[in-house]
Structure 1
Amino acid sequence: MQLDLYKGLGLKPEDTRRYDIPLVGFDRKTVIPKGIIILAVQTGNELVEVDFIVFDAYSPYTVILARPWPHEIGEISSTLHMKVKYLTKERVKELLGCQTMVRQCMVAVVRHQARQVNPPSPGLAS
């Protein structure tokens, strides 16, 4: 969870637990998380508690899930199909991704990397 979102939700440092396992981004930069927080998330008709890693770094993603939740629910994910399937007491459930959102994230990453390589000149509008 990006620090901006964390603050925007009105969460406070005392709401987090220590979590200092480094995250390595797609750009190979390492970020030390600010902590981890457990929040309730609605998935279909179910309310589940999910661990979110809190970090202060540029990312086109709003959240990064810690591993225990996907493993706990026995999820099977497919990035190709942008789906997550998991077993409940009644049946197999499915969470679907959004192609538009994936495209927006990819464009954001490419633009951010381009700005890192070719920063705008001072005095020029960007």
Structure 2
Amino acid sequence: MGSRALRIGGYDVKRVLVDQGSGAEIMYPDLYRGLNLRPEDLDRYDSPLMGFDGGMVVPRGMIRLPVQVDDVEVSVNFIVVEVFSPYTAILARPWLHVMGAMPSTLHLKVKYPTQGRVGELVGDQATARKCLLLAITQWPPGIAVVTEDPIS
């Protein structure tokens, strides 16, 4: 049986989008506040990001935190943004690459090598539906969700 537990900064986290189309890991306000992070915990990050709607978002900063699935832990640079999202974070290509992971959106699973076997992170269909529904029905007008590569 696969793991449903994804830990960021030592805490179990839900509503994480694994997005192989994104080039940067993103942390949204719910997770930022939930981890009791403060502005002084953030490193400077000045590159604006582009949202789905083409709008620019200026990040609050960046923070490096451990992300753990079962016995595999890697450090991830999260860009912290103050925008609406039904997700708490996005894990993107950098995390997938370091993990050696293979995501399947169809099966809501991420498979990764660990200690001579294949580990499996299993998503929750009901939560995925709720996030999608929230994104479609409750989206505040003019607010961008950031999942694009940083602009050079």
Take 2:94 and 2:71, find their aligned partners in 1: how far apart are those partners? 21
More contact order relative to length (CA 8 Å, sep ≥ 6): 2
More strand by share: 2
Percent identity reads 51
Match of 1:116 among 141, 145, 148: 141
Match of 1:83 among 89, 98, 109: 109
The structure that has the greater radius of gyration is 1
Which residue identity is paired with 2:141? Q
Q: TM-score, normalising length from structure 2?
A: 0.64
Match of 1:39 among 65, 72, 75: 65
- The superposition leaves residues 53-102 of structure 1 with CA deviations (integer Å, 9 ceiling, x where unpaired) of 21100111110235422211221111121111112242221111111111
Take 1:99 and 1:25, find their aligned partners in 2: how far apart are those partners? 25
Q: Provide the secondary structure at the position in 2 that maps to 1:36.
A: strand
Match of 2:127 among 101, 108, 120: 101
- After superposing on structure 2, the runs of 4+ consecutive aligned residues of structure 1 that deviate more than 6 Å are none
Q: TM-score, normalising length from structure 1?
A: 0.74
Structure 2: gaps (5+ residues): 1-26, 143-152
Equivalenced residue count is 116
Superposed displacement of residue 16, structure 1: 2.1
